[in-house]
Amino acid sequence: MKARPDVPDSTAPNQAEAIQAAPTDAAPSDAVASAAAVLPAVSSTFSATDRPGPAVLVLEDGRRFVGRRYGSEGQTLGEIVFATGMTGYQEALTDPSYAGQIVLMTAPHIGNTGMNDQDMESRKIWVAGFIVREPARIASNHRATRTLDDDLEAQGVVGISGIDTRAITRHIRSKGAMKSGIFSGDLFGLSDSEQLERVLSGAPMRGRNLSLEVSTVEPFSIPAQGERIGSVAVLDLGVKTSTLTYLAERGFEVLVLPQSVTAEHVLSLKPSALFFSNGPGDPAASDAHVTLLQEVLRAGIPYFGICFGNQLLGRALGFRTYKLPFGHRGINQPVLDKTTGRVEITSQNHGFAVDMPIEGVHDSRAGFGRVEVSHYSLNDQVVEGIRCLDINAFSVQYHPEAASGPHDANHLFDRFRDVVLASQRGIAGETK
Q: How far apart are CA 368 and CA 389, in angstroms?
A: 9
E-assigned strand segments in 51-177: 54-59, 64-71, 75-83, 101-105, 109-110, 129-131, 134-135, 158-161
CB 397 within 8 A of CB 348: yes
Which one of the listed residues 328, 350, 375, 399 is annotated catalytic? 399
What are residue 175's phi and psi, to 5 degrees? -100, -15
Q: Is 388 a catalytic residue?
A: no
Binding residues for L-glutamine are 97, 279, 281, 308, 311, 349, 351-352
* DSSP 8-state assignment for residue 140: -
What are residue 93's phi and psi, to 5 degrees? -60, -35
CB 214 within 8 A of CB 126: yes
Which one of the listed residues 121, 307, 372, 384 is annotated catalytic? 307
Binding residues are 97, 279, 281, 308, 311, 349, 351-352
Q: Is 17 a catalytic residue?
A: no
Q: How far apart are CA 161 and CA 24, in angstroms?
A: 12
Q: Is 375 a catalytic residue?
A: no
Of residues 148, 145, 170, 190, the one with CA closest to residue 55: 190
Which one of the listed residues 79, 121, 372, 401 is annotated catalytic? 401
Q: How far apart are CA 253 and CA 400, in angstroms?
A: 19
Q: Cα separations (Å) of 254 from 57, 144, 232, 247, 297?
A: 42, 29, 5, 7, 19
- Would you name the residues annotated as active-site residues? 307, 399, 401
